Amino acid sequence: MRPPVRARLAKLVPVRGWLLWLLREGELSSDPVAAMELPRADRVLPRHLLGPIELQRLLAEPDTGRPIGLRDRAMLELLYSSGLRRMELASLQMKDLDLPRRLLWVRLGKGRKDRVLPITAVAVHWLQRYLQEVRPRLVRPSTDPGHVFLGAYGRPLSLAWLSQIVSQHLRHALPGHVGSCHLLRHAMATHMLEGGADIRYIQAMLGHAQLGSTQIYTHVAIGRLQDVHARTHPRASAEDTQS
């Protein structure tokens, strides 16, 4: 039995990168991966998408009476507000925030592309509290890395640690649920689509190069589709069953 597509990709991508590096360094005379076609992974959503009530329970889970809890609340609110990827959140710099205008800059996101994102007033509120009350207590002024979110020793949070933080809050808020940072990204996209946002704006928020990457969310925004169907289809009324 062949291994799953994602498992094969996890092995092939590093090999291709290594061979391309050898080519650039002059160790190889020809491109050995010119004809290599990587398998295409299926685009899949999390097994469970958070509804508004579940989402609120997750966002409210951190203990904001504690410095680290306040930091975590700011992170969760920002992830849901902006749809940032985990790597984009980890690399977010102080200079990338424009809180008076409710904007943030993503520098060299996936595909090494920049984008500017709006963020909600709620996310701005928690970010301001974190930046005023907590970050100055975490950072060491002589070695300030400039990252927005820091660990207890003033260092940037690693990708693995970010996943662990979000997963832990999810387990506490919603026992039996699994997921991490991407769960909030998916929730933002789905809720915006259900709220009536044009899919092209969701594409811009998520930083997808191709609209096809975003169209996966049309499969889960069934609530709005049902509402539109019920209001517009000529045979949607129960009265039509009598004729």
Q: How far apart are CA 193 and CA 67, in angstroms?
A: 34
For the CA atoms of 160, 152, 85, 5, what is the dihedral angle to 10 degrees?
Answer: 0
Which letter, b or e, does each residue of 135-162 get, where b requires 16 or more Cβ atoms within 10 Å of its Cβ?
beebbeeeeeeebbbbeeebebbeeeeb
Catalytic site residue 140?
Answer: no
Instruction: Determine contact, residues 168/160, Cβ cutoff 8 Å.
Output: no
Helices of type H across 85-152 = 86-90, 121-133, 135-138
Catalytic site residue 208?
Answer: yes
Q: How far apart are CA 185 and CA 173, in angstroms?
A: 18
Catalytic site residue 110?
Answer: yes
Catalytic site residue 153?
Answer: no
Please identify which of the residues 8, 16, 110, 171 carries the catalytic annotation: 110
Give how far Cα 55 sits from Cα of 52, 157, 191, Å: 5, 23, 11
Quick one: CA dihedral 75, 76, 78, 84, positive or negative?
positive
Please identify which of the residues 73, 186, 191, 208 carries the catalytic annotation: 208
Please identify which of the residues 71, 185, 186, 191 carries the catalytic annotation: 185
Please identify which of the residues 71, 85, 135, 191 carries the catalytic annotation: 85
Place of tokens 């990252």: 147
Collapsed DSSP state (helix, strand, coil) of residue 41:
coil
Which residues have a catalytic role annotated?
85, 110, 182, 185, 208, 217
